[in-house]
Copies of this chain bind each other. A is one copy, B any other.
Amino acid sequence: MGRSDERCCIRTGAGRRESYTEAPSVYQGVIAVEARPPGRARRPRADAARNRERLLEAAKRVFGRDDGAHSSLEAVAREAGVGIGTLYRHFPTRESLFEAVYRREVEQLVELAGQLAGGPDPVAALRRWLRANVEFVATKKGMAAALAIVMQGTTDLSAYTAERLTAAVGGLIDRAVAAGALRGDVGPEDLLRLLVSLCYGSSAPGWQHNVLRLLDVFVDGMRRDRA
C-alpha cells in the first residue's frame, strides 16, 4: 500500500509550500451558537435543559467514535448519564438527535465562512475554509456523518441547514469567481459533496493529510488562470 509516511510537506498547486501541522487553525475562534426555536413559551426546566445538553454532548462523543453512526441510542443515553426515556423525550427520532447534533456544528462552519469572506485573497479563503472543515471533522469525528446527512437532504430540517451551509460556501466561491480567480462551473453543492465524500469514511492514519492534498488539487483544477 502506499504513501503512509506523512512527512506532510507537500507542494500545493502554485508552488506554495505548507506544513499542515504548523498551519494556523482557523475554526477555533468560532463561538458555539445554539439556535433554539423561539416559539416555545414555557421556559424549560433547568434539569431538562441540562439533560438536553448532556445528550447532545454524549451523542457527539458516541457518534464520533469509529462507525459511531450505528451506535445504539441506549449507548448515547448511558454516555449522557440519563435514562433512555429521557433521550426519547428530547429527541423523538434518531434523526432528530442527529440533526440537533450537527446543527450546532454546521452553525460554526457557517460562521467561519462569514469571517473568512472579508480577506483579500478569495481563493485562499476558500482553501482555508475547506481546511477548517477537515480539521473540524478530524476533531469531532461525528461531523463527517453529520455533514453526510445534511447533504443527502432527507429531512426538511436538514434541508434548512444544508441551505445555510450551501449559502455560506457559495458566498466564498462567488467572490472568487467574481474576481476572475475561479471558473464558474463548480457550485457550492459540488464542493460540499466532494468535501463530505472525502471525509466520510476516511479513517486510515494520515487521512487528513491526504484529503487536504486532494482538495488542494481540486481547487487548482478550479483555477481560472490555468487552461
Chain A residues close to B by CB (< 8 Å): 1-3, 10-11, 13-15, 70, 78, 81, 148, 152-153, 159, 162-163, 166, 183, 185-190, 193-194, 197-198, 200-204, 210, 213-214, 216-223, 225-227
Contacts and interface: CB of A to CB of B under 8 A. Distances in A.
Given A200-B197, A226-B227, A221 B1 contact: no
A149 to B, nearest CB: 11
A186 B201 contact: no
Given A210-B190, A210-B193, A14 B222 contact: no
B198 A201 contact: no
Given A1-B153, A193-B198, A194-B197, 8 more contacts: A1-B162, A1-B166, A13-B227, A197-B198, A197-B202, A217-B218, A218-B221, A220-B227
Contacts of A213: 185-186, 190
Contacts of A187: 2-3
Contact of A214 (B194, B202, B216, B223): B194
